[in-house]
Structure 1
Amino acid sequence: MDHVAGESRHISVRIDRPAGEVYAYASDPAHLPAWAEGLGGSIAEIDGRWVAEDAPMGRVEVAFVPRNELGVLDHHVTLPTGETVYNPLRVLADGAASEVVFTLRRQPGTSDVDFERDADMVAADLARLRALLESA
């Protein structure tokens, strides 16, 4: 069954590291290949844009909002089709730890199966981010 766009799911992970450290690491696009598997194994800055040539869906561009003191890591991913997907992402302080929250938005025509697959991929990415930062 396909649903209309508009459904959102908040996927989060608690990381036993201060929010500033988590934000500093996650806000650096050069670190994306280490934890965001959906973007492929490499990313490079080309003419001021961050480009992943080997993403599973092909060449994608990633553009984060400017660095800020609020923990906002929202970013746009431009797909090979030219379509741009907006991804809200936040790092929230939780005492001496952090919570990272990704808002997954269902795109038009996305089936229940594909939406669940996307949610599982985001959860796995956040788990990799946690493992990387907690082992540092």
Structure 2
Amino acid sequence: MDSTGTPSRHIGVRIDRTADDVYAFASDPANMPAWAHGLGRSIRKIDGRWVAEDSPLGRVVVTFTPRNDLGVLDHDVTLPSGETVHNPLRVIGDGTGCEVVFALRRRPGQSDADFERDAAMVTADLSRLRQLLESA
């Protein structure tokens, strides 16, 4: 559970690339469709905001944390309903590689099946990120 009592799950993947390499790639919103299919297969900047028209939840607006030296890749996703979901994401250096960790938080009223589906999508997204960066 997080500090508000909301159940959460940390999902991580080790990537055999430096934290700087992974952060540089993953922090560019234009690269997200290549690996974050849970967010959508396309994203574009419209009126200064990043918009994914084809996310599994419909049209969403994504607000990214400014680039930083701490490996923080948090992003807020505003759903079609107007609800905003905060998504903590970190790149943590570990020698010559790194770990990327996503804190999946269960939304109020979300069923067990939907939470597990979200966990599977995050796992697939992080695996895709690893495959892209380790094959480059």
> Could you tell me how far apart the structure 2 residues matched to 1:50 and 1:93 are?
27
* Runs (5+) with no aligned partner, structure 2: none
> Could you tell me how far apart the structure 2 residues matched to 1:59 and 1:115 are?
20
> Could you tell me how far apart the structure 1 residues matched to 2:41 and 2:11 are?
23
Match of 1:103 in 2: 103
TM-score by length of 1: 0.94
* Runs (5+) with no aligned partner, structure 1: none
> Could you tell me how far apart the structure 2 residues matched to 1:40 and 1:108 are?
22
> Could you tell me how far apart the structure 2 residues matched to 1:9 and 1:33 are?
23
User: Moved runs in structure 1, 4+ residues, more than 4 A?
Assistant: none
Q: Count how many residue pairs are aligned between Structure 1 and Structure 2.
A: 133
Give 1:81 deviation, angstroms: 0.8
The code of the aligned residue for 1:6 comes to T
Match of 2:14 in 1: 14
Aligned partner of residue 39 in structure 1, secondary structure: coil
Give 1:46 deviation, angstroms: 1.1
TM-score by length of 2: 0.94
> Could you tell me how far apart the structure 1 residues matched to 2:72 and 2:132 are?
20
Instruction: Specify which structure has the bigger relative contact order, considering alpha-carbon pairs within 8 angstroms and separated by 6 or more residues.
Output: 1
Matches within 5 A, 1:48-67: 48-67=48-67
Give 1:110 deviation, angstroms: 1.0
Match of 1:30 in 2: 30
